[in-house]
Chains A and B, each alone.
Chain A
Amino acid sequence: MLPILKINLTNHTTEEFIIPKEWEHDFLGGASLAARILYPLLTKGLDPLSPEAPLLFINGPLTGTNGPTTGRFVICGKSPATHLWAESNIGGFWGPELRKAGYDGLLITGRASALSYVWIQDGRFEVRGAAGLSGRDVYETQEIIKAEVGVKGARVAVIGEAGENGVLFSSICCDHGRMAGRTGMGAVMGSKNLKAIAVHGTKKIEVTERYAVVRSEANRALKQDNEAKVMSELGSAGAANYAEYLGAMPSKYYHQGAFPAVDNISGAKITESILVGQSACQGCVIACGRVVDLGDGKRRKGPEYETVVGFGPNLLIEDLTEVVRLGELCDKYGLDSISTSNTVGLAFHLFEMGKITLQDTGGLELRWVGFLAARQLIHMIARREGLGTIMANGSRALGAAFGAEEEAMQVNGLETAYHDPRGVSGMALSYATSPRGACHNQSDYFFVDWGHTHEEIGIEFFDRHAHAEKSANVAKHQNWRTHFNSVLICIFANVPPQTQVDLLNAQLGLDLTTEDLMRSGERAWNLKRAINNRMGLTRANDKLPKAFLEPYKEGGAAGFTPDLQAMLAAYYQARGWDWETGKPTREKLVELGLEIVVKDLWG
């Protein structure tokens, strides 16, 4: 991979960091390599919003090569929401542009004296003032900066007002609504007085002849894939109908197991009613991005599954146009739509319980179906006004402020996504053991519970309501997805393991096997766990919010709850983790070549 540019915003100095070859070999790139690079820096005492906190933008080994969905990059650091490992990956065109500019990563520390943006062009670096951009939304900011740098093809990663105001679930955006939403990387960027990073490069991203052949076949196969067809035709919200049928799509803030109006907000409905186009990340043949028109002639970003469910069933809203508008409002402010809708849902829930009152809301009625109230809460969160001051710190903080932390649907400070473990039990472990809190992207195990197996790497099918018998399978799937998050292939792309091996070997000149990919994933999973252990995480953190352990009365998952403790016991055994401390055992760390961690964890 190309060098990483280390940038200190306090004194505007830079330094190139050459990634050691053995790190590339062991971790491949992306979030896994980021964990290795950041390992020495992520300590328990580090304030994630301090100038010292690192913020790493990094590519994968195939970023920008037009391989199957390989146009991605990832942003890593320490999360201000969880105080644990943070990573958030994102598509668009920014990562490939950074590579064309001569870098595969930016490691940012320090704090600019005033709101600024960074401009990188073919290896040249500049910090420019951005005071006039304060409060600008993510789309306006991109356009203004593009005009200011005056270079056709420049790409801009930006934060919105939420990131400037330190909302702990603020996102980083590039292109048209591509969001690194989870773990609050926008707040870290804002804490550095960094409004945006513009990049442009003219270097060609070279690929080998062999890679071009494998890539062509891989893209052709991907285009024919059934799942890719669903994603292309319907977007990720195409899954809503089936998820609802299984009782895996939560509604009414995870307290209602069925949503009969699912047809009104599903991906199929979007396609039939408001879809006017599709958008794709660099090199992607799927184009899951939705472009919609709500009748006013304006082309807008349409919602993906999480936004649809978060602002639809989660709040009992059946009006698709309102769902679109609420998602758009989050995007403009630079807010993660999962954490925002989740925290809004908690506010509605606590209002219904009588814990939040009209006095707390400034007279705002927080009733279910209330999209106007939801809209107002989003404004208040982004601006840190009124109740939004508390909500901006996430659902855990909101629950705690009203004596009801157990009602908050979050794990370790990251709000749960909209895949309910009562409908697809594997998600119980996905949420409880993810290195970044209640995350569905470190292992989107709901796909496996629906039937998407990978038998060639030992990921098999278990009943969607199985318990401990599937724990080892979940661990394997986590390793597989950690590999995805290192190469930065989109998890929507069903690219078979052997194809991934062929792509990597063809481009990097390596001799990898599928076992190597799985081992690399396992290594990084354990390294992230070790980072979290060092920052204070123990087995007590491997937990689920209360509602997931209470059965639904209705819907496709009625009566079922996952047996988390049995699942965890089997999971620890499969992982080779110590049940007392929650750490990977010394033997497991040595087996994975993580000797650097042994002393820190075990003395």
Chain B
Amino acid sequence: MTAKFPSEEWLKGLETKLNSDEKYREIAKDWEGDLFFSIEPEGNLKERLTFYLDLWHGTCRKVDYNPEASTYPKPAFTLTASYNNITAVLSGKLNPMTAMMTMKLKVSGSMGYMMRNVPTVLDFVRCAQEVTKEIV
């Protein structure tokens, strides 16, 4: 299933993908942690957008489209990026490691956990890219 980004349909598609992708299930089998994305307005995005994913042992237990930050006060990781940078990652134009190392994608959370699980992070990005049919 593919969908236009950003949309609730896209997020649901990503949830389905994460729960059906064998490679992701294997690589992420030890991952325990939820992600809160905060996308800053830029270009075609006029207002701040958020989305939430609860990832657990190679599955996605829950997604939430555009929730208030206060709904999830202590996510394992908060990832913040401008719209252009997040869409560049989703379209494959920006390497996700480059995005993190050049602060185009800001990360807050346990860096130890993140560094131990870079393969999971990279495969999560692959799944997100494969779900992205079109970018607004």
Query: A residues touching B (Cβ–Cβ < 8 Å)?
Result: 224-227, 229-230, 233-234, 238-239, 241-242, 245, 263, 266-268, 271-272, 447, 450-454, 461, 494
Contacts and interface: CB of A to CB of B under 8 A. Distances in A.
B112 A238 contact: yes
B115 A451 contact: no
A101 to B, nearest CB: 38
A230 B98 contact: no
Size class of the B contact interface (CB-based, 8 Å):
20 to 34
B118 A268 contact: no
Interface stretch (B17-25, B37-45, B64-72, B101-109): B101-109
The 4 A-B pairs at the shortest CB distance, nearest first, are namely A451-B97, A268-B112, A451-B98, A452-B101
Given A230-B114, A451-B102, A453-B101, 7 more contacts: A225-B103, A233-B111, A234-B111, A238-B111, A267-B115, A272-B112, A450-B101
A267 B112 contact: yes
B107 A452 contact: no
B115 A238 contact: yes
A154 to B, nearest CB: 36
A456 B10 CA distance: 33
Interface of B: 95-103, 105-107, 110-116, 118-119
A247 to B, nearest CB: 13
A233 B98 contact: no
Given A241-B115, A242-B115, A268-B112, A226 B98 contact: no
Identify the interface centre among B102, B107, B113: most chain A CB within 10 Å of its CB: B102
Nearest to A453: B98
A267 B115 CA distance: 9
A229 B107 contact: yes
Given A450-B97, A451-B95, A451-B97, A230 B115 contact: yes
B85 to A, nearest CB: 13
A272 B115 CA distance: 13
A457 to B, nearest CB: 12
Contacts of A227: 101
Nearest to A463: B95
A453 B102 contact: yes
B118 A452 contact: no
Given A226-B106, A233-B111, A272-B112, A245 B95 contact: no
Contacts of B105: 226
B44 to A, nearest CB: 23
Contacts of A266: 115-116
A234 B111 CA distance: 8
Nearest to A263: B116
Q: Which of B96, B100, B105, B116 has the most CB of A within 10 A?
A: B116
A272 B96 CA distance: 26
Nearest to B100: A226
Contacts of B116: 241, 263, 266, 268
12 contacts: A226-B100, A226-B105, A227-B101, A233-B110, A233-B112, A245-B118, A268-B113, A451-B96, A451-B97, A453-B101, A453-B102, A494-B101
A224 B106 contact: yes
A268 B101 contact: no
B71 to A, nearest CB: 24
A204 B23 CA distance: 60
Contact of A226 (B107, B112, B113, B119): B107
